[in-house]
Amino acid sequence: MHKKYLPLTLALAALLTVLAAAGLRAMTQAAPAISLAAEEKNIYLTFDDGPSTVVTGRVLDILKEEDVKATFFIVSDRVAGREEVLRRAAREGHTLGVHSVNHVYTQIYASEEAFLHDVEECAAVIERVAGVKARVYRFPGGGNAKRERYRALLRERGYRVISWNAVCGDEEIPNATAETLFRKSVETARGKQPVVLLLHDSAPHKQTAAALTDIIRYFKRNGYTFCRF
Ligand SMILES: [Zn+2]
């Protein structure tokens, strides 16, 4: 190479380096657009221990007003006299899952036979009354280590076991106000994806129904999609 072209070559090389770096930067800047899809925010509202007349009815009214679907884990002994509430939940597009016949742990977890009988009886009531085959299950009292052996039995029968990772506090905090339940929901949902929020729609939980509109609107405002199982 002729000496007089050397500076020009160096300048060209420098220019190419700058361009390459800019290209690389453009590529890395494009990356967030891709990961935006991965930053999906989903929330599952799950209601345990119903149906009840007043609370479940109010919860269904709010879900309808807000155009949101949820999942209800049913205690089948509480269905008698409230068949229409259960039918309404199914009709309005909510998922009905098995929780238990009567929520009495000593009976439910007495043996594998007792456990399966409990699951099947609850599912039979849901199917007879609301005409839907339950495919999701939630352990009464939660799915702790002692209950692991039951998980396989459920899986064999085609049930998906649903736990939770956020709570509104309606069982944990005595006499909680709607405001407290709202705050607890927001606080425990932070950083979770998806959020599976535990709420209760049995008779004592009027404050849960009272908090529900605020809870739904908060997650809507924050870009969450509402899902059901
Ligand atoms: Zn329960």
The amino acid that residue 109 corresponds to is Y
d(CA 49, CA 74): 6
Band (pLDDT 50/70/90 cuts) for residue 146 is confident
228 alpha carbon to ligand 1 midpoint, in Å? 18
25 alpha carbon to ligand 1 midpoint, in Å? 52
pLDDT(24) > 50:
no
140 alpha carbon to ligand 1 midpoint, in Å? 5
On whether both 20 and 83 belong to a single domain, the answer is no
On whether both 33 and 48 belong to a single domain, the answer is no
Band (pLDDT 50/70/90 cuts) for residue 32 is very low
31 alpha carbon to ligand 1 midpoint, in Å? 43
pTM exceeds cut of 0.75: yes
103 alpha carbon to ligand 1 midpoint, in Å? 6
Closest CA to 143 of 164, 126, 169: 164
On whether both 16 and 106 belong to a single domain, the answer is no
Please give the tally of structural domains in the chain. Answer: 2
37 alpha carbon to ligand 1 midpoint, in Å? 34
pLDDT value, residue 15: 46
pLDDT value, residue 29: 47
Alpha carbons within 13 A on the beta-carbon side of 123:
16
Which CATH number fits the domain that encloses residue 211?
3.20.20.370
On whether both 27 and 46 belong to a single domain, the answer is no
Band (pLDDT 50/70/90 cuts) for residue 9 is low
**CA dihedral of 125, 162, 191, 169, whole degrees rounded to 10:** 50
pLDDT value, residue 30: 46
Band (pLDDT 50/70/90 cuts) for residue 4 is low
pLDDT value, residue 39: 84
Percentage above 70 pLDDT, the chain: 83
Mean pLDDT estimate for the chain:
89
On whether both 125 and 185 belong to a single domain, the answer is yes
Closest CA to 47 of 229, 198, 196: 198
Structural tokens at position 134: 């339950």
Residues near 23 by beta carbon (within 8 Å), at least 6 away in sequence:
none
d(CA 199, CA 222): 20
91 alpha carbon to ligand 1 midpoint, in Å? 23
d(CA 31, CA 59): 41
- Window from 35-44, 77-86, 113-122, 160-169 with minimum mean pLDDT: 35-44
On whether both 108 and 8 belong to a single domain, the answer is no
Could you list which residues have their CB under 5 Å from ion ligand 1?
Answer: 48-49, 140
Domain that holds residue 29: 3-37
Residue 128, helix vs strand vs coil:
helix
On whether both 76 and 33 belong to a single domain, the answer is no
220 alpha carbon to ligand 1 midpoint, in Å? 26
On whether both 33 and 79 belong to a single domain, the answer is no
On whether both 212 and 152 belong to a single domain, the answer is yes
On whether both 84 and 28 belong to a single domain, the answer is no
Q: Region of 188 please: left (phi>0), alpha (psi -120 to 50) or beta.
A: alpha
204 alpha carbon to ligand 1 midpoint, in Å? 13
pLDDT(28) > 50:
no
Say if strands 225-227 and 71-75 run parallel, antiparallel, or are unpaired.
Answer: unpaired
174 alpha carbon to ligand 1 midpoint, in Å? 16
On whether both 100 and 171 belong to a single domain, the answer is yes
On whether both 142 and 85 belong to a single domain, the answer is yes
